[in-house]
Amino acid sequence: MHIAVDCRSVHPRMGGIGRAALDLIRALGARSRGHRLTMIVAAGYVGEISVKGVHILPVEGAMIDERFDQLQLPGILEELGPDVYLNTTFSVPAVKTTKVQASIVHDVVFEDHPELVEPGLCHHLSRWSRFAAEQADHVLTVSDHARGRLEHVYGIDPARITRIYNGIAPSCFDDPDESELRRVRAKYSLPDSFILYLGTLEQKKGIVELLSAYRKAGDAGLSQPLVLAGGKGALGFDLDLQIRNAGVAGRVRASGFIEEADKKALLKSAALFVYPSLYEGFGLPPLEAMALGIPTLVSDQTSLPEIVGNAAIVTSVHDASEFSQALVRGVRDEIFRRRAATAGPARAREFNWDRSADQVLDLCERLGGN
C-alpha cells in the first residue's frame, strides 16, 4: 500500500503540529511494514530534508493554503496515486482523488473559542475541519478530550474517528550536559533559579492568567523570577502591556523566540515549568519538561489533565488564588518536587511514537483494505 502523509506543517519555525508530523513520519518510516511512504513537504519552507524509508515530495504550497489544498493538491495526488492520503493539518481536498482520505484534526479551539484564534485562520480551520469531519473517510485526533469535542461539535460518528496520542522522542529524556546548560544560560542571561513558561506568547496560552497568579504568589513571598520564552503569537497580543498591567515588571523576563537546539537546556534549567494554556489538543511542552524530571504545573483545561496524569500539578487558571497557591507549591513542596523527578519521566514514556505509528499503520491498513 502507498501512504502519502501531508507534512506541509514541517518548517524551521514550526509549532507543535509540525513537530508531531515530523516525529510521526520518522516513526512510520522506521517501521513501514513494507508499505510505500511519501512525505509531502512545502518546497518553500523546507530545504534539504530526508527521512529514512520515506520518499520526499516537495510541493508549492504552504501549511495553511486553501488554494493549494483545493486546486493543486487533487491533481498532485491523482498523479502520485497513493491509496491513503493523510493530512496532518485539519483539511482534505474537496475533490477526492485517492481511495482513502484521512485528516488529523488536532483540536477545535476555533469552534469552542473563536476569540482566541486569528479570524482568517479561524475561518479556514473551521470550514475545512468541518468538511473533513463530514466527508473524509476517517478523522484522527490526539486526545480523548479532542475526540469528545469533535464528536460533540461536528456530530461525527464515533466509528469514523480514532484517537492516537502524539508521542515524545526518545532523545527528550537525555539530560543536556553541563557545557550545554552553561551555554544556554549565558545566551539568554538566565537567572539561577526561575519559573519557566515555554510556548507561543498569546492569549490562548493563559499568559494573562499566569501573570496575575504570579503577582499574587509574589505577594505570598514567591521570589523566583518568571521567564516567558517563545515567539509572539496571534491577535497582536501585547506582552509588555500585560506585564505592566499585572504589576510584575522587573520580575518577569521575555526571552524571545527559542531555537529548537536550545530548548532542552532551557527546560532543564528551570525550577518549575508552567503551562497554563486555556486550550490544547494535546500539549507537548509539559511532557517535554516532565521527561527531564522538571516539576511541572499545568492548567486544568481541555486535554492537559489527561496528558500529564497525576505526575504534574493541575490547577484552575481562572481562579487566581488557587493558581498562585499552585505556583508556590510547585516551587516549595519538596515531596512533589522529588516525586516529579521520577514520576515525570515515567508518565512521559507512556507517549511513544513507535506505538502511535503502529496505530496509524493499523488504521491505514484497515481503511485501505489490506
Partner 1 sequence: MRILQICSEYPPQKVFGLGRYVSDLSRELATQGHEVHVLTNSLGGVGKDVLDRGVQVHRVEFPPPPMPPTPAAPLLAFNVHLQQRATSLGLEGLGNPEVVVSHDWLTAIAGARIARRLDLPHVWTVHDTVHGKRFGKLEGMEDGVSHAVELWAMREANLILVNSTAIAEEITRVHGADPVRVELLHPGIEPAACMSHQSEERLAAFRSVLAQQDELLVTFTGRLDLEKGVDTLINAFALLKSRLPKARLAIAGRGVLRPTIEEHLKKLHLEREVTLCGYLEGQVLRSFYQVSDIQVCPSHYEPFGLVALEAMAVGTPVVVSGTGGLRDIVSSTKVGRRFSPRNPGELADTLYELANSPGLRRQIGEAGRKHVLQQFAWSVLARRAASLYERQVEAKKGMAV
Dihedral in degrees, nearest 10, Cα atoms 191, 194, 199, 205: -140
Is there binding between residue 75 and partner 1 (CB under 8 A)?
Answer: yes
In the list 16, 18, 29, 74, the residue contacting partner 1 (rule: CB under 8 A) is 74
Phi, psi of 127 (to 5 degrees): -60, -50
Rounded to 5 degrees, φ, ψ at 168 are -135, 130
Return the closest-CA partner of residue 62 out of 122, 113, 14, 132. Answer: 14
- Nearer Cβ to partner 1 (132/327): 132
Smallest separation, CB 67 to partner 1 (Å)? 7
If the CB atoms of residues 101 and 324 are measured against partner 1, the closer one turns out to be 101
What gap in Å lies between CA 37 and CA 56, rounded to an integer?
A: 9
Number of residues that bind partner 1 (CB under 8 A): 16
Regarding 94 and contact with partner 1 (CB under 8 A), the answer is yes
Is residue 174 a contact residue for partner 1 (CB under 8 A)? no
- Pick between residue 105 and residue 340 the one whose CB is nearest to partner 1: 105
Closest separation in Å from C-beta 117 to partner 1: 20
Task: Kindly state whether residue 66 participates in binding partner 1, applying the rule CB under 8 A.
Answer: yes
Among 32, 70, 126, 325, binds partner 1 (CB under 8 A): 70
Q: How far apart are the first and last CA of the chain?
A: 8
Q: Single out the segment in contact with partner 1 by CB under 8 A; choices: 88-96, 156-164, 192-200, 246-254.
A: 88-96
Overall residue count recorded for the chain in this entry: 370
- Contact call for residue 95 and partner 1 (CB under 8 A): yes
Find the binder of partner 1 among 32, 72, 126, 359 (CB under 8 A). 72
Q: How far is the CB of 129 from partner 1 (least distance, A)?
A: 12
| The residue to which cell 506582552 is assigned | 239
Query: CA dihedral in degrees (251, 246, 107, 306; nearest 10)?
Result: 70
Cα–Cα distances (Å) from 96 to 85, 103, 132, 360, in that order, read 10, 13, 11, 21
Q: Which of 79, 89, 96 minimizes the C-alpha distance to 136?
A: 96
CA-based angle 297:301:307, to the nearest 5?
A: 65
Q: Binder to partner 1 among 13, 31, 33, 67 (CB under 8 A)? A: 67
Identify which of residues 92 and 142 has a Cβ nearer to partner 1 in the complex: 92
| Helix 207-219 vs helix 239-246: crossing angle, to nearest 10 | 30
* x/- track of binding to partner 1 for residues 96-115 (CB under 8 A): xx------------------
Shortest CA distance to 308 belongs to which of 287, 333, 279, 280? 287
Closer CB to partner 1, 78 or 219, in the complex: 78
Please identify, using beta-carbon distances, which residue of 64 and 181 lies nearer to partner 1. Answer: 64
* 59 scored as a contact of partner 1 (CB under 8 A): no
Residues 105-164, interacting with partner 1 (CB under 8 A): 131, 134-135
Helix (H) or strand (E) holding 252: strand 252-256
The residue whose grid cell reads 475533490 is: 95
Q: How far is the CB of 136 from partner 1 (least distance, A)?
A: 11
Interface residue list for partner 1 (CB under 8 A): 66-67, 70-72, 74-75, 78-79, 94-97, 131, 134-135
